[in-house]
Every structure is written in structure tokens, then in C-alpha cells.
Amino acid sequence: MMEGHEVIVLDNMFTGRKKNVQHWIGHPHFQMIIGDVVNPLYMEVDQIYHLACPASPPHYQYNPIKTIKTSTEGTLNMLGLAKRVKARMLLTSTSEIYGDPEVHPQPETYWGHVNAIGPRACYDEGKRVAETMMYAYKKQEGVDVRVARIFNTFGPRMHPNDGRVVSNFIIQALQGKPMTIYGEGAQTRSFQYVDDLVNGLMKLMNGDYDMPVNLGNPDEYTIKDFATVIHKFTDTNSTIIHMPATEDDPRQRKPDITIAKSKIGWQPQVAVDEGIRKVRRSGSTSRGERRFGVDSLGLRCG
């Protein structure tokens, strides 16, 4: 909108909150519709950012059938809209399509190592078939498509009950509760700040490259080390405790961003520690609930 574009947001508010866009309400170029992508949508647009789908395990496992429908029926509806109005469509896929990877770091050419019937499958497999649909429509119907595979992302206004490691650790630290690590904490993740992700999505949408692109920060942390980082930056008295490991939790996750650098001219600019400082500076609504905000724009992410 700051560039002069008109923006229409469609959200069913399953994980979103109206106050996240409160500052745009009343802007002449902003319109918000409470609705769901599983239902057909009729409007005139030039670009479609298909961000829909809960991205954290507690949310997408709450109603796995609904999660699958969002990635399948929702993607088909958005592709149908793109075809009708000749719009370019960007799908926010996920690093979860790589599953528990046997290749490290993960390039876009890696096909993945995914349990098709495990507790994470409704999200992993839903996003994999969504990518398949994107390229089927590109080949058969000539739809102009883009696919971003998003790795873990964090930032202001993230839901305090998001359930992913960044929000869990920060909320627990601010409330002085034990910081919970599932398993030994040797599993690794890579975390990017939301501003970098948004920049990457816009570069991908407006560029010429139309194959999948990893968007993530290749700086890799063990979960145990990341808990220590959060502990330091929040100046908390929380202890760090270990709980039993969750099923199918990936052992490692790190993006190979060679394609992003060479094809769309993108790489992260915000270091993790600076991102955490930005989250802390973003303000608070009540003790222990800072305005976190996401991966997921619908960030997903993995």
C-alpha cells in the first residue's frame, strides 16, 4: 500500500487477529474480508499471495482435515481465480515439505523425507500437493505461478499461543516460566526475521523466476543453544527444562539459499539477535504477552 497498491485481505481468523491489521483499517487502499479460501472467491486482482493455512503444529493438528482442505481446495480456488482474471499467484509453501531431511542444508532440488501418515502429514503433504497443483496449472492452463518455501520466521505481533519455538521461548521467558525443550535440544532450526521474509516474497512475486525458492536464514542453531539466546536477551529467571521429544520432529533444518541469491537477488539482512531486539522493542499488551507476529502471515513456515 505504501507503494500505491490496493490490497484485499481474506482471512478466516482461525489463527489471525484483527488487531494485527488495525493500523490499516480505514486506509483507502485497504479492504478486509472475513472469509475462507475453501470457498470460491470472485474479484478482480493482478496478484495473489496465497498465504492461507495454519503453520504451527498445535494449530494445524487441531483440525487436520481442515488443514488439508485449506491446502487442496483452497489452492484450487485461488488457482481458479488466477486463471479467470489472469493474475500471477504466489504460494507460500514450507520447509516442512522436506520432512526430516537426509540432505543438509536443503536445496530446492531435494525431494524430501516425509512420513505421509504421521501427525505432521496434514500440513506437509497438503503443501506438497499444493505445489503440484501450482505447476499443473502452469503447464496445462498457462497460469503464472511462484512458489516460496518458507523456513522458520518470527517478528512482532506473532500469536502468543502460536506453539512454535520462538514464541514459546519468549512467552515462557517473559512470564518467568520454565523454557521447554522437547527432546535433548540437539535438533537444529534456522530463524529469519519477518521483514526479510516479506522482502523475499515481494522480490519473488515481481521477478521472472518461477520455480520453487527457499526463503530462510541459513544461520543454524540447536534448539538448546537458541533457548540460551532467548534467555540472555529477555534477562529472565526462567529455567530450561526438557520434555519427551515430539513425534516426527525434524532433526535438522537449514535452507540452501543459493537460488534466492542468484535468481531473485535476495538474502536475509536482519541477524537473529537483532530480530529478537526488534521484537522486544515492539511493545507489550500485558505482562508476558508481547505483540509477536509472524511467519506465517498465514507463516508459515516449518
| Amino acid, res. 132 | T
123, 137, 193, 221: the active-site residue: 123
Whether omega before 105 lies within 30 degrees of 0, making that bond cis, reads: yes
Instruction: Please report, for residues 230, 242, 266, the alpha-carbon distance to residue 245 in angstroms, rounded to integers and kept in the order given.
Output: 20, 9, 34
Cell 540460551 belongs to 228
98: annotated active-site residue: no
The secondary structure of 61-98 as a DSSP string is HHSHHHHHHHHHHHHHHHHHHHHHHT-EEEEEEEGGGG
SS3 letters across 145-195: EEEEEECCEECEEECCCCCCHHHHHHHHHHCCCCEEEECCCCCEEECEEHH
Q: What are the DSSP E strand ranges found in the chain?
A: 7-11, 30-34, 47-50, 88-94, 145-150, 153-154, 156-158, 179-182, 188-190, 192-193, 213-215, 220-222, 240-243, 284-286, 289-290, 292
State the catalytic residues. Answer: 123
